[in-house]
């Protein structure tokens, strides 16, 4: 995605949020860490459609260690790269911006 496309996507999400949200609303674009009811993922948000958020450069994080250190420092104990993955928005507990290099298999 180039900068123009990212800004357009942000504007579309903001318009959707102003209109009352919906299943395709998502709070962040770019690199994120997502905690679902059963799993943890990192990746770069490239699309939000049909109740799913699509990540590229994704990884399933099998063991984050302490959540606060995982978010603050980008440290983790175990990860498995999954490349491209779609996460169901209904399963997401929380999502935070990811300011670190995306995890790879470890």
With beta carbons less than 8 A apart as the criterion, state whether 31 and 101 touch.
Answer: no
The pLDDT score that the predictor gives to residue 100 is 96
Per residue of the chain (106 residues), give pLDDT as tens: 666 676 677 666 655 544 434 444 688 889 999 999 999 999 999 999 888 999 999 999 999 999 999 999 999 999 999 999 999 999 999 999 999 999 988 7
Q: Which ranges in the chain belong to alpha helices (H)? A: 3-18, 67-73
Domain limits of the chain?
3-97
The pLDDT score that the predictor gives to residue 23 is 41
User: What is the phi/psi pair of residue 19, to 5°?
Assistant: -85, 10
The token pair at 33 is 């860490």
Is CATH 2.30.30.100 what the domain over 3-97 is classified as, yes or no?
yes
């Amino acid at each position: 995605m180039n900068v123009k496309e990212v800004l357009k996507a942000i504007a579309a999400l903001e318009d959707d949020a102003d209109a009352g949200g919906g299943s395709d609303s998502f709070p962040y674009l770019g690199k994120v860490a997502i905690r679902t009811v059963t799993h943890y993922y990192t990746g770069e948000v490239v699309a939000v459609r049909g109740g799913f958020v699509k990540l590229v450069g994704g990884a399933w994080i099998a063991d984050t260690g302490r959540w606060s250190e995982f978010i603050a420092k980008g440290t983790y104990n175990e990860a498995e790269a999954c490349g491209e993955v779609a996460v169901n928005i209904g399963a997401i507990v929380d999502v935070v911006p990811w300011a670190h290099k995306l995890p790879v298999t470890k």
